[in-house]
Structure formats: C-alpha cells, structure tokens
Structure 1
Amino acid sequence: MTEEDLDYETLPTTSVATNMLAGALAGITEHTVMYPLDSVKTRMQVLKPSPQAIYSGVVNALSRISTAEGSATLWRGVTSVIVGAGPAHALYFATYEKCKESFSSRDNEHNHLAHASAGACATIVSDGLMNPFDVIKQRMQVHGSTYRGVIECGLDIFRKEGLSAFYISYPTTLMMTVPFQAVHFSTYEYFRKKLNPSGEYDPKTHIASGAMAGAAAAALTNPLDVAKTLLQTRGAVQDSSVRAASGLVQAFKLIHQHHGMKGFAMGIKARVLSHMPATAICWTTYEFLKMFLSKQPGFATEGTL
C-alpha cells in the first residue's frame, strides 16, 4: 500500500506509543518555530508595561526588540517550551485520540461534540503538566527580564512567590484552553473531512485545516489569554493591584479598568498570526509522523489502550 493510497481514517487506532511520540515531536516543532511571535504576543498583553515596551503593532515590536535588545531576546525562554511541550503534547494527543475514538460514533460521521469533548479532555491533562513551564516562559519573555536560564527563573519564582505561582493561572488557563481546544479540534476535524472526503493522507488538507482551526480558536479565546498573561506575569510588574490579582475575575476587572473593552483584544493579531502557522505545522507534523510511525516495527496498532 502506497502513502497516497493509505486510508487515513484508520489511523486513530494506531498505538499509544505512536500517538505520544508523534504528538511530542509535533508540539515541540509548533512552539519553537513560531516562538518569536509568541514573545511579541506576551509583551503586548502585559497590563502596565514600561515605556520601552509599548508597541504599535507586531512588525514594530519585532523590529524594536531585535534592534534594542538583540534578536536572541525573541527566543528567550524557548528552552522552557521545549522541555515542557514534549511530554505535555505527548499526553495531549494520546488523550485526544483515545477520547475521540471512545466518543465518536461507529459510522465515523463528523461529530462536533465528540471532537470538542475529546479536545477538552486532552487539554485538561496536558495543561496540568505544561502550566509551570508556561509561567517560566512568560517571565523570561517580558521586557527587562534578567533570567539567564529556565532553572534560574524557576527557582527564583519559587523562592519569592512559592509553588502557587506556577499554578495560580491554571484555572484561567483551563477556562481558556478548554474552549480553545473545543473550537480548535472541531474546526480542524470539520475542514479535514470537507476538504478531504476520501480520507487519504493529504498534507495540504492538514495545513489548511490546521491554519483555519488555529486562527478561529486564537481569536475567540484572546480575552482569556490576556487574563492568563496578567496572572502569569504579575510577579514581574510593579503595580500592587496587578501583583495582588489572584484569579480570573480580578484579572478581567483590572484589564477593563486600565484599557476598557479594547484591553481584551491586546495581542490578538500576534496571537492569530502565531497560531495559524503553528497549528498548521503541528497538525501536519503530527499527521505525517502518525502515518509514518504506524508503518514502523514496534509502533503497530497492537497495544492500544
């Protein structure tokens, strides 16, 4: 059977090992390739930045950061993402595939609720592991960060703010990522079936479906991402009201107080611009690796949960 003739709809039954390895490599690829735009998004979402960190747009931010602080600044904190994204995405995709298989009907018809529910389950599991790494990443991304490495940053946060600093944003993260992944997965699966009814392996379908899914999910959940950034970077700002924020409601109040309704759109362009290619890259990498690994010895369908 050739790659082109492969019935791709049968691949959700690949082994857990296949799904986890493909997911880990896809997650690392997704986060690292588009990391500079993620750094810009974080900078633009900080509630009360220093005057040197106020930007008029994505291009302006990329240019000013590269010129004033060096292009390497745009990659500061990427190690945290690499370390966390591998295991987190392994759990993410393994959980998604298993839940999608369990929730979907036997006739394999597209089911928005099944895919959305599977995506929600996957993100609850993966975010529990990824949240501390995300906190470290954002602390290293903000303007004026002096941390030289992930371990230094993590230990400093722990000494000054305690273990809770790594999880204070977790409820808000879930409130953002659960609807994000619900929209993301249901949109992706919808367009994947519409653009490729035959179910054969087709990278162009994964690229297009992933990009549309990433853009839709990123735009719809941006207000929650602004609140998450506020909570994860609160220890890096001087404003006492921001430093005292302890949850989503307080974060929303502070955002509205300082910027009005437009505050909930802070960083939305950078977020959409990063998520569109990142999600396309992630799905294309994942689907290819899942197809490739499923044909390798040791990654057969036997042994699924």
Structure 2
Amino acid sequence: MTADNRPLPFSYQFLAGAIAGVSEILVMYPLDVIKTRIQLQVGSGAQAEYTGVIDCFTKIVKNEGPARLYKGITAPILMEAPKRATKFAANDEFSKFYKKLFGVQQMNQPLSILSGASAGAVESFVVVPFELIKIRLQDKNSPYKSVGDAFLKTVKNEGPLALYNGLEATLWRHIVWNAGYFGIIFQVRSLLPKAQNPTQKTLNDLAAGAIGGTFGTLFNTPFDVVKSRIQNTVLKPGEVRKYNWTFPSLLTIYKEEGFSALYKGFLPKVLRLGPGGGILLVVFTATMDFFRTIHYK
C-alpha cells in the first residue's frame, strides 16, 4: 500500500476535515451571505430587492457596511469544524464499511455515491442548529445581535426543538450534495492523468473538488432554498407555517414564484461551493498526507 493510501485513525480524519472546513469558510463566507439574502426574498424582477450577485454585494456594502458580509460567521466557524470533519471522516468510514459489505477491494462510483450520501445524512444532524442560527443572522431584517443572542431568543421564544427546524430539508440538501460531490470526485479523478508530482496532485484535487462541488450544488439548490425559508420562519401565535415539509414546500415555491425560484441564490452558491469544494479537497488531502508523515514515521 502506498503512503498516499495508508489508513489513518478516525481522530486524524476528523482533524483534517476540521482544518479543511475552516480554511474554506474564511475564504468564501461572503458568498454564503449573498446566497441567503437572495434565497429569502420572495418575488422576482421589479419586485426583487436584489437582482443578482453584484447588485446584492454592492447594496450590502453600501447600505450596511462591509462587515455585514461576515455577520453570523461565528456560527459557521463553530459549525465548520464538526461539519467538515464529520463529512470527510464519515465518508472514509462508510467507504470502508461498504467495501466490506459488498465484498470489493476498490471503490467504484456507485459506492462513492452511496458513501457520500450516507456521510451527508450523518452530517445533517450536526449542522442543523448552526445553520438555523446562521440563516437568521444573515437575514437583512434580523432582530438578533449575535450568535448567542439568536440562540437564546430562539430557545426561549420557540423552545429547544426549534433549533432543529428544517432538519428534513437539511437531510435532503446534504444527502444530495455529498452524493454528487464524492461521486463526481471519484469519476473525475479516474479520468485525469495520474499525478507525477505534488503540484500535479494538488491541481488534480482542485479540479476534481471544484467539479464535484459544482455538480453537488446543481443537484441540491432547490432543497437549500426550502431549508433557508423554513429555518428563517418565526411563527406568531396562531400563525400557520407556510413552509414545512420539503416536497410540499418545493411545490408551493414553484406554483407561486416559478421554477427559477427553486434556484434562487444558485450563482453565489456555486461560486462558493465550486471553488470551495476544490479548496476543501486540496486542504483535506494535504493535511492527511502530512498526518501520515507523522503517524508512520
């Protein structure tokens, strides 16, 4: 077995995923704020406050200040370590499990998709409360001052279980994204020329991760739109929840706003998660390679 493929204990996988996740979010977070703003607005054309990525970015900076592009970053920073660590570690563990289960020696694309989907399901339970707080802080009309303020008021006013609003939509979002991401990465890596040096290996990982992130985003954006709207809903006494279960909510958005509304925020999302997927894979792989030099010395 080559050094690049030698297994590492779960703790190394977890730490490598955490480092990769925090690296990605520090670079790409403003695009996440822009994505959420566009997803939360109802209506299009002249009725829409933001007409696109540049318009949203410009208005936020002009009207609210550049710091607003980083509002709520504490929640995803706290979330990114367990989220990304869980994603990569769970994917590695599920890959080993499914190879044993189906009696194969090497991964193939169907198993890569299955492992990715399984990892996404596990990841969902970790991220839901952090995602809910983040979405509520990113809203232009957010009444919350900080992560702590949003957390305490949500629990006080809506109960602890409110932190898990949107769990079902989050499950769909993460299952679909991870299945696409890891499935495409496997396919792209198999098509790329074998790396002859560390630079080529980094470029291959960057390309595979970026393409995987792009396809994952293409597949899961409608679920992300629904998740954002469910999690940003704070009900008044006697009010009926408009967005609740995923597929009825998808149908409601489609009927009221058209098919394109299901892809609101797609451009900033893909601009983040395409390159971001590449950054994730490169940092994770490089960190795991570094840990192997320590563990096997």
The answer to whether the aligner puts 1:123 opposite 2:117 as a matched pair is: no
For the structure 1 residues 102 and 190, does the alpha-carbon distance in structure 2 shift closer, same or farther, using more than 3 Å as the test? same
Deviations 1:242-279 (A, max 9, x none): x4432213422331233121211211111111111111
Aligned counterpart in structure 2 of residue 83 of structure 1, from 78, 82, 88: 78
Aligned counterpart in structure 2 of residue 98 of structure 1, from 71, 76, 93: 93
Name the structure 2 match of 1:67. 62
When normalised by structure 1's length, the TM-score is 0.87
Amino acid at match of 1:46: L
Matches within 5 A, 1:235-254: 235=234, 243-254=241-252
Contact 1:30 1:278 in 2 (8 A): yes
Instruction: Tell me how far 1:45 sits from its aligned partner.
Output: 0.5
For the structure 1 residues 179 and 200, does the alpha-carbon distance in structure 2 shift closer, same or farther, using more than 3 Å as the test? farther
Aligned counterpart in structure 2 of residue 284 of structure 1, from 282, 285, 294: 282
For the structure 1 residues 263 and 200, does the alpha-carbon distance in structure 2 shift closer, same or farther, using more than 3 Å as the test? same
Aligned counterpart in structure 2 of residue 273 of structure 1, from 271, 280, 284: 271
Instruction: Tell me how far 1:173 sits from its aligned partner.
Output: 0.9
Unmatched segments (≥5 aa) in structure 1? 1-5
Distance 2:33 2:48 in 1: 12
Instruction: Tell me how far 1:75 sits from its aligned partner.
Output: 0.6
Name the structure 2 match of 1:135. 132
Distance 2:156 2:262 in 1: 31
The answer to whether the aligner puts 1:26 opposite 2:20 as a matched pair is: yes
Amino acid at match of 2:96: E
Distance 2:38 2:274 in 1: 18
Contact 2:3 2:292 in 1 (8 A): no
Distance 1:175 1:107 in 2: 29
Contact 1:47 1:255 in 2 (8 A): no
Aligned counterpart in structure 1 of residue 190 of structure 2, from 190, 193, 206: 193
Name the structure 1 match of 2:222. 223
For the structure 1 residues 140 and 281, does the alpha-carbon distance in structure 2 shift closer, same or farther, using more than 3 Å as the test? same
Instruction: Tell me how far 1:235 sits from its aligned partner.
Output: 1.9
- Calculate the aligned-residue CA RMSD, in Å: 2.4
Distance 2:10 2:180 in 1: 24
Name the structure 2 match of 1:173. 170
Deviations 1:202-226 (A, max 9, x none): 1001111111001111012111111
Distance 1:300 1:234 in 2: 50
For the structure 1 residues 7 and 189, does the alpha-carbon distance in structure 2 shift closer, same or farther, using more than 3 Å as the test? farther
Name the structure 2 match of 1:36. 30
Instruction: Tell me how far 1:170 sits from its aligned partner.
Output: 0.9
Contact 2:41 2:48 in 1 (8 A): no
User: Larger deviation: 259-268 or 65-74?
Assistant: 259-268
Deviations 1:20-46 (A, max 9, x none): 110011111222321100110000011
The answer to whether the aligner puts 1:255 opposite 2:224 as a matched pair is: no
Any idea what SS the aligned residue of 1:143 has?
Answer: coil
Distance 1:125 1:114 in 2: 17
- Bigger relative CO (Cα 8 Å, ≥ 6 apart): 1
User: Larger deviation: 228-237 or 254-263?
Assistant: 228-237
Name the structure 2 match of 1:159. 156
Distance 1:295 1:165 in 2: 44
Unmatched segments (≥5 aa) in structure 2? none
Equivalent pairs: percent with the same residue?
Answer: 27
Name the structure 2 match of 1:54. 49
Give the length in aligned residue pairs: 288
Distance 1:178 1:72 in 2: 32
Contact 1:22 1:290 in 2 (8 A): yes
Distance 1:124 1:132 in 2: 15
The answer to whether the aligner puts 1:295 opposite 2:290 as a matched pair is: no
